[in-house]
Amino acid sequence: MQDRKYQKKKAAVEKFVKKQGRVDHSEILNSVDIDYDTLMAVLSELRNEGRIS
């Protein structure tokens, strides 16, 4: 089960990717308060949902 913190981080990553138009791990890690493992899980989930390419 995902908690509220995870959902907020997921939304922040999605917003950042849509704004920048690309997925750059280092930029996301520097801009969003998220650790690497969580970032990889979020990006995987967003790709599976079809929200990012």
Longest Cα–Cα distance of the chain, Å, equals 29
* Contact call for residues 49 and 43 (beta carbons, < 8 A): no
Structure confidence at residue 1 (pLDDT):
60
Structure confidence at residue 41 (pLDDT):
96
pLDDT interval class at 2 (50, 70, 90): confident
Domain residue limits, the chain: 4-49
pTM over 0.85: yes
pLDDT tens digits, one per residue of 9-52: 999 999 999 999 999 999 999 999 999 999 999 999 999 999 88
pLDDT tens digits, one per residue of 19-30: 999 999 999 999
Phi, psi of 33 (to 5 degrees): -75, 85
